[in-house]
Every structure is written in structure tokens, then in C-alpha cells.
Structure 1
Amino acid sequence: MVLDVYKRPFDPRNPVVCMDESPRQLIAETRIPIPCSPGKPARYDYEYERNGMCNVFLACEPLTGKRMVKITERKTKLDWAYFLEEIEVQHENADKITLVMDNLNTHIPGSLYEAFPPPKAKALWDRFEFVYTPKHGSWLNMAEIELNVLTGQCLKRRMDNIELVSKEVFAWQNYRNNKNSKVNWQFTTDDARIKLSRLYPTIED
């Protein structure tokens, strides 16, 4: 179970990494915003122009306070496979990487075999121990918390092109990593037995 994985002590040979992804809308202003001035807040017109979408991949290592973010144009099997390869490179000295993620239909071995030759795809798949969050329980993934922080601190404003999003996200990533910011996770297995009681089997007399 995910919560049992979170209780593991730090082991550089078997790091625990949480991964999540989220689409973002690219939005442009239709009128020039009025900047703030003494006693007056900045003002933005309620109208905007949609400039398409991009996708945010995020991987974080809860016990080290490190995270890696990648912006892609789409959220396809190939995009996920290439991001998985980057996670593996970041932990090339590990014996096995425990990866916590949800059950998205792209998170399958076939995605790797579409992106890489079979020997490399199998070797990459074997480098990971995959731990999936339960159905309707994606909030148990710490990477989702990091994504919420990223949205609140960096992406909660209008940006109209993927290059700008990538630049801002890269700066946020470095800022958080330099601060060694960690998630204060307090949800335990005992809490789960209460909150998620419907998911546990019951024994009747």
C-alpha cells in the first residue's frame, strides 16, 4: 500500500519517487493589464484568448526535498515514457526506484515499447517498482501536493506560450530544490482505516 511505502526510511539505493501530471491551458491577454501603483492593485481584463494546452510532468522525492518538472506539448504514452527515462537517469546509481503514481492508461509497459527498442524498454521497466494509488485515491500521491504548490506559486496566472511556462517552471523547480522543501505528510495507515474504511474487508461473526 502507498502509505506503507511512505514509512520506509531513506535509502539511496532504493529511492521513493512520486510522479504526477496535469494539463495546463495557455492563456493570452486580450488587453494590456494595468500594473499596480501606490494604493491600487494590478488590474486584468476578464476576457482572455486561449492559445492551446500544454502538460506538466512532475516527479518528487519526498525524503530528499528534490523535484523535477518537465513541460510537454501533449500527454501521450511517448511523453510519459521519455519522462520515465529522465527519472531513471536522475537515479542511475540506485538498484531499484520505487515510483508512486496513479493508474492512468498511459502508465503501462506498452508505452515504453512504443518509445524504445524492446531491450531498452524492458531494462527501463525493470528499473522500477511501481506502486499505484487506489482508484479515486490519487490524493494519496505526494506529487499531487507538489503540483498544487507549483500551481499556487507559479502557474496561477496567464501565460500564453509553452516556452514561458517552461522557463517559469524551471525557475520554480530550482527555487524549491535549493530550499530543500519537503511535504509534511501526516496521513497514516490508522487514518486510512477510518477515512477509507469502505476499502478494507470486514470480518463478520
Structure 2
Amino acid sequence: MKKYIVTLTEEERKILVELTSKGKHKSQQILDALTLLGCDEGEFQKQRSINQEISRVLNTSMKKIDRVKKRFVEEGLDVFLNRRKGSRIYVKKADGDFEAHLVALSCSEPPEGFARWSLRLLADKVVELDYIDSISHEAVRRILKKTKSNPGKARGG
């Protein structure tokens, strides 16, 4: 039983053929277009290929072919060509006030027994000082990199 049947109009075929033959496009976009052209069962298709043959020629998996067909059938050519952006929304934990505290802390003297602040030490200290509920050392690194500060730089003297 075929789940998703691809039938391309003459205009859609023309767009996909142009996409695969000229210009600069992402490799995945070209592979997807070639997959659709091979799976087409419309009246403008001269010779239809079976999924196994498409998989072998394009060196892709059968699941990839099924996903391409599904995306085209459910969402149409426009969404298919211009992949949609992720719908996940990330809430930013660190605001400007927290970043200022973090930079000030990283520029201060390190704790007793340490030559300089490490990212993990900074992460633990800002949580201890109750500037933020929790933060990873990687998030601390990104914030400090963004502010172009260098807490590990030796002071000249």
C-alpha cells in the first residue's frame, strides 16, 4: 500500500528540474528535488522509478525518501523548497543585569586557593550568590565570550 503519492504539475516539475540543474543550492535540497522527480506519478513523468532504485542511485535511505514524499504531500512545494524554521521557543535565563554581575565577578579576585576563575567556579559562585537559579559552565562561557572579556588573562606588571 502506498502511503504518499507524489503527483507533480508541469510547473512544479519545471521548478524542480531548474533547481537540480543550475544555480547554487544546498545538497539536501537538490537530493530532495531529485527524489521527488523520481517518485512523480503525474501525467508529465516519462519514466517513474521505484523507491529502491532511487535509494540506490541517490545513496539515500528508504526512510529519507518516505519523509521527502510525506513533507511534499502534506505541506506543498513552497514549504518543501523553503524549509520551515524550527517552532521551538527558547526562554533566555540570563538577562543584562545577570551578565553584568557575571562579568564583574570574573574580573574580581578568584577564591582562596585558585590562581584564576574557571568556568565551573564562576557557574557555582553565581548560583551561590543567588544571581540565578541554575546555570551551566557552557552558558557562562557563551556569555563571557559574547562580552569579549578574558578572565584568564595574566595581569601585566
State the TM-score, normalizing by the size of structure 1: 0.19
Determine which structure has the larger strand proportion and give its number: 1
* Larger Rg, first or second structure (1 or 2): 2
State the TM-score, normalizing by the size of structure 2: 0.23
Kindly indicate whether structure 1 or structure 2 has the higher relative contact order, using CA contacts under 8 Å at least 6 residues apart.
1
Determine which structure has the larger helix proportion and give its number: 2
